[in-house]
Amino acid sequence: MPVIATATASLIDVEVETVRQDAVQSFAKQETIVVDITTDDGLSGTGYAYTIGTGGHSVLALLRHSLLPQLIGQDSRDIEGLWRMLHNSTRATTVGVITSLALAAVDTALWDLRCLSAGQPLWRMAGGASQSVPLYDTEHGWLQLPTDELVAGAVAAKRNGWGGTKIKVGKPSAVEDAERLRAVREATGPAFDIMIDANQSFTSAEAIRRAAAFSDLDLFWFEEPLPADDVSGHIRLAESTTIPVAVGESMYSIGQFRDYLQRGAASIVQPDVARIGGITPWLKVAHMAEAFNVVVCPHFLMELHVSLVAAVPNGRYVEHIPQLRAITTDEMQIVDGNALAPETPGLGIAWNRDAMEDRRVA
């Protein structure tokens, strides 16, 4: 049996590729928490999680002092059992962001090992539904960008064969948001998906008002309109608009997704593999959503999510936000507007160890 011999963690800072501003925050840098796990047969798997600028050292401390020592001597194939063991050992901090991020870094490393051992890519080992998945653009839709740049980005995405673009909303007035969105719709025409994202910035009443202001634009979804813990507010919004409500990037447990799905509070789920605690719980959320006839369009981490969206039958879209180019040696393949899940064994991420070491801060 492949026994875990070593388990280490490091923290790497990766600067953002473009200025990113939404209704509530700026994305200054990605704190990338990397876990390397080696088995006694010499195989090594790498996993990761991230923050957008704060908390990385806390995740690193939890890994080094509490979680990673428990892995030594364990069978690396027992991914479900190891996830549960680590989760149960941190009950005082679950459900919580720091614990979920730490669990994700471990879990993705264990899945990397599983796939490497089998000589198979992640997308096939996790389900193998379809290797090719549609892309939409977020990088050209940030809130600080002027309307002409939003339009140019959307037109370029459509020209490249991508399925849609996401525009951040949350300007001081609904009129300003609507004018920006209308300009994009007029430039791209009807056969193009426009998503909007409020980043939890509205009250229930304001979200309902803005959805009404956008009602003639045929929007594909309204993402994170309210704080993630306001399930009842999302229910009221979903009942008041025909725009599909999308949630999930700020949820850290399977139970939170269950509540939204059972109560009809969302019609698109966006689990983030780092924030939900890894591939193991991500797949559970995706399969639960399938049972409710709901699609999965995960948040961020396109280099990893491309394989997971390809793995499940209800995977609908991958969000295009490049962020690992500085510490990897290749990029996600895109053909005719679709992302191709890597065929290489493992997670399919080609890490650049020298570049990672240069950016290592702990």
Res. 18 pLDDT band, cuts 50 70 90: confident
Angle, helix 204-213 to helix 231-240, in steps of 10 degrees: 20
Pairing of β 338-340 and β 132-137: antiparallel
Q: Note if the bond before 95 is cis, omega within 30 degrees.
A: yes
Per-residue pLDDT of 229-267, as tens digits, reads: 999 999 999 999 999 999 999 999 999 999 999 999 999
- Find the catalytic residue in 87, 140, 158, 168: 168
For residue 336, is it left (φ>0), alpha (ψ between -120 and 50) or beta? left
Q: Which residue has the tokens 């679709």?
A: 338
Q: Where are the beta strands (DSSP E) in the chain?
A: 4-21, 26-39, 44-51, 132-137, 164-168, 193-197, 221-223, 245-247, 268-269, 295-296, 318-320, 333-335, 338-340
Whether 91 shows a pLDDT value over 90: the answer reads no
- What is the C-alpha separation between 106 and 303, in angstroms, rounded? 17
The pTM of this model reads 0.96
- Alpha-helical (H) ranges within 94-250 are 97-118, 122-125, 147-159, 174-188, 204-213, 231-240
Res. 158 pLDDT band, cuts 50 70 90: very high
Token couple for 297 = 């369009």
Active site residue 168: yes
129 three-state secondary structure:
coil
- What is the C-alpha separation between 168 and 180, in angstroms, rounded? 10
Whether 326 shows a pLDDT value over 90: the answer reads yes
Residue 137 contacts residue 158 (beta carbons within 8 Å):
no
Give first-to-last CA distance, the chain, whole Å: 32
Half-sphere exposure of 263 (CA within 13 A, CB side): 16
How confident is the model at residue 304, as a pLDDT? 97
Q: Percentage of the chain surpassing pLDDT 70? A: 100
Whether 287 shows a pLDDT value over 80: the answer reads yes
Enumerate domains of the chain plus CATH numbers.
4-119+353-358 (3.30.390.10), 124-340 (3.20.20.120)
- Find the catalytic residue in 166, 299, 305, 320: 299
pLDDT (mean) for 113-137: 97
Residues in the chain: 362
pLDDT (mean) for 71-88: 98
Per-residue pLDDT of 290-320, as tens digits, reads: 999 999 999 999 999 999 999 999 999 999 9
- What is the C-alpha separation between 166 and 169, in angstroms, rounded? 10
Q: Residue 73 phi/psi, 5° resolution?
A: 90, -5
The per-residue pLDDT of the chain, averaged, comes to: 96
- What is the C-alpha separation between 143 and 91, in angstroms, rounded? 38
User: Beta partners for 337?
Assistant: none
Q: Which of 224, 240, 133 is nearest to 170 (CA)?
A: 224
- What is the C-alpha separation between 307 and 129, in angstroms, rounded? 10
Listed in sequence order, the residues at least 6 apart from 347 whose beta carbon sits closer than 8 Å to its beta carbon are 46, 47, 108, 111, 112, 115, 122, 304, 307
Residue 261 contacts residue 250 (beta carbons within 8 Å):
no
Q: Residue 132 phi/psi, 5° resolution?
A: -105, 130
DSSP string, 212-246: HHTGGG--SEEES-S-TT-HHHHHHHHHH-SSPEE
Active site residue 29: no
Whether 23 shows a pLDDT value over 90: the answer reads no
Listed in sequence order, the residues at least 6 apart from 151 whose beta carbon sits closer than 8 Å to its beta carbon are 183, 184, 187
Q: Percentage of the chain surpassing pLDDT 90? A: 93
How confident is the model at residue 22, as a pLDDT? 77
Half-sphere exposure of 358 (CA within 13 A, CB side): 10
